[in-house]
Amino acid sequence: MTEKREYTGDYPEKKLYIPGPTGVRDDVIEAMSEPMFGHRMDRMTDLYTTIVEDTKEFLGTDNDVIILTGSGTEFWEASTLNLVDENILVPTCGSFSERHANVAERLGKNVDRLEYEWGQAIKPEDIRETLESSDKHYDVVATVMNESSTGVRNPIEEIGDVVAEYPDTYFVVDAVSSLGGDYVDIDEHNIDVLFASSQKAFAMPPGLAVCTVSEDAYQREVEKDSASWYGGFQRCIDYYDRKGQTHSTPAIPIMLAYRKQMKYMLEEGHKGRSERHREMAEYTRNWAYEHFDMFPEEGYESQTVACIENTQGIDVAGTIEEVSEKYDMVFSNGYGSTLGEKTFRIGHMGEHTVKSIKELTDAIEDVADL
């Protein structure tokens, strides 16, 4: 039984280097403190159409964009309900891809996993072989772009090109921990549905999920007439087309923060942001090679989350605690009980720079006596 622990509001500010949430600019936080307004007022249409159209421009996509109160998890469920009649193929390579498969099972779908050892990346040729050799029709292939538990960046572009050869199979991508920090050409690679959460590389407060939807995926849902209510593509997109608003009351303050931060993102650009993240990833990888090793298969390391193999056997939990105490910086242990002490993770995403990442690695070196 959990007991109440009173929130005192009296906590030291910590710089976040975890795989989300990430630090948010001060003026983006401040943007949330406007007096409240109604979600059916014209002002709401201004706000919602601004953030939706700015997001399309940032991502460079002609697909529809839905921004919904909730988190990325909503679109594991909604995309499955909207697109899967019977069979879904989920390559699993870590905890989040496994959870995607689990969600689809809970929704009563037939889930075929293509299982990879944790740390390994999903290979397009395996997807091709499975689609070619199976006697089943897969409604969806669902792939995680950035497996946050293992720090693996999957080659979703090549996988999308393979799925494109199967016109009745939709390609769904969980880009929760990479979108905004790792460039992806959604339209070029047949990505029917791609979703993310606001609190990761977008560097916004948590509470919004962003989803892109292709015309084909939208039409498929319209024709089948079976869909999620809350995350139904048709419901969300038609409401936007008719009224420029959301179908139910959204988290308006977070949308105000989104508006402010998305302007910064537009200034930096999708590719510019990706390049900054690439530099941070490269710096962190080199640091890891100097002191430890990288956990992911070589060549598939994430651009937003470094999963570092604890080859020196440092006390991961103790180091995290001491770095937090001494430097007010927080990084992450490995995922779950298997990787908890075997690896640790540095989230180099959002508004971080090589300089701010170096401040953390210096702190780790000091505390772990490297």
Q: How far is the CB of 71 from ligand PLP (least distance, A)?
A: 3
Q: How far is the CB of 70 from ligand PLP (least distance, A)?
A: 8
Is 144 a binding residue for ligand PLP by CB under 6 A? The answer is yes
Near ligand PLP by CB under 6 A: residue from 16, 17, 18, 20:
20
Question: Looking at beta carbons only, is 177 or 212 nearer to ligand PLP?
Answer: 177
User: Which of positions 77-106 make contact with ligand PLP (CB under 6 A)?
Assistant: 96
Q: How far is the CB of 176 from ligand PLP (least distance, A)?
A: 4
Is 174 a binding residue for ligand PLP by CB under 6 A? The answer is yes
The whole-angstrom separation of Cα 278 and Cα 178 is 11
Is 197 a binding residue for ligand PLP by CB under 6 A? The answer is yes
87 touches 138 (CB < 8 A): yes
Nearest Cα neighbor of 22 from 143, 148, 193 is 148
348 touches 284 (CB < 8 A): yes
Question: What are the φ and ψ backbone dihedral angles of 302, each rounded to 5 degrees?
Answer: -65, 150
Binding segment for ligand PLP among 67-75, 231-239, 258-266, 333-341 (CB under 6 A)?
67-75
DSSP assignment string, 62-85: -SEEEEEES-THHHHHHHHHHH-S
Near ligand PLP by CB under 6 A: residue from 16, 51, 68, 72:
72
3-state secondary structure of 178: coil
Length of the chain: 370
Question: Which long-range contacts (C-beta less than 8 Å, at least 24 apart) are formed by 38-43?
Answer: 39/245, 39/246, 39/249, 39/250, 39/252, 40/245
Q: How far is the CB of 101 from ligand PLP (least distance, A)?
A: 12
Is 148 a binding residue for ligand PLP by CB under 6 A? The answer is yes
User: Which of positions 201-260 make contact with ligand PLP (CB under 6 A)?
Assistant: none
Is 176 a binding residue for ligand PLP by CB under 6 A? The answer is yes
Q: Which amino acid is at 78?
A: A
Is 73 a binding residue for ligand PLP by CB under 6 A? The answer is yes
Q: How big is the site for ligand PLP, counted in residues (CB under 6 A)? A: 12
Q: How far is the CB of 334 from ligand PLP (least distance, A)?
A: 14
Burial (CB count within 10 angstroms: exposed 0-12, middle 13-18, buried 19+), residue 319: buried
Binding segment for ligand PLP among 85-93, 117-125, 142-150, 315-323 (CB under 6 A)?
142-150
82 touches 228 (CB < 8 A): yes
Q: Which residues bind ligand PLP (CB under 6 A)?
A: 20, 71-73, 96, 144, 146, 148, 174, 176-177, 197
